[in-house]
Amino acid sequence: MAAGTALTAATTAPVAAADVIFVRCSFSVDQPFVYELNGASYVGARMRADNCETNLPSTPLKFGLDIQAGYGTQDAGVTESFTNAYEKWIDVSNGGSYVVDFPSDDRLVALRPGVFLASGRVSSNIEGWERPKFIDAKAVTWGVDWGTMTRIG
């Protein structure tokens, strides 16, 4: 499911409507996936920004993604958990589309039985948009069957 997010900010001085700064992209987070590296299996995730529009010559956006891992078994439940937070700056241009794979450093997430959640956010150094905007989150399980969640209400 794609989440559309627009970063739009006016300049600080009173200006005409044509001077409004804008950045718009259709952002999404893919479901976590498995990949191989040096014979071992790891969990990764991907963020996308498609059909970007901006009226700035250079628009750096910071893609942030958290990968949460909860290792465990059906009998024992989650016995170990952690979150790795990753960030990468992308210079977005008008008409551009971008794909960023995480992890983007040496903090790998080993594939073991459990649940994995990828949660994405985006921010910018454009005035008024420094705080991260939530994009989407996707979860998967691997090697366990914990059943379905019960809906209350």
pLDDT by residue (tens digit) across 3-16?
555 554 433 334 34
152 domain residue, yes or no: no
What is the tally of structural domains in the chain? 1
Q: pLDDT category, 21, cuts 50, 70, 90?
A: confident
Q: Quote the pLDDT of residue 92.
A: 93
151 domain residue, yes or no: no
17: three-class secondary structure by DSSP? helix
CB 40 within 8 A of CB 12: no
Helix (H), strand (E) counts: the chain: 0, 9
Nearest to 61 by CA among 51, 52, 72, 74: 52
Q: pLDDT category, 38, cuts 50, 70, 90?
A: very high
Q: Quote the pLDDT of residue 2.
A: 45
Enter the pTM of the model. 0.81
9 domain residue, yes or no: yes
Q: What is the CATH number of the domain that holds 118?
A: 2.60.40
**93-132 confidence digits (pLDDT tens):** 999 999 999 999 999 999 999 999 999 999 998 877 789 9
Buried (b) or exposed (e) across 136-147, using 16+ Cβ within 10 A? bebeeebebeee
d(CA 108, CA 41): 10
User: What percent of the chain is predicted at pLDDT more than 90?
Assistant: 65
Q: Quote the pLDDT of residue 5.
A: 54
58 domain residue, yes or no: yes
Q: pLDDT category, 151, cuts 50, 70, 90?
A: low
Q: pLDDT category, 58, cuts 50, 70, 90?
A: confident
Range of the domain at 48: 3-142
Q: Quote the pLDDT of residue 128.
A: 72
Q: Name the E strands within 31-109.
A: 33-37, 40-54, 59-73, 77-92, 98-102
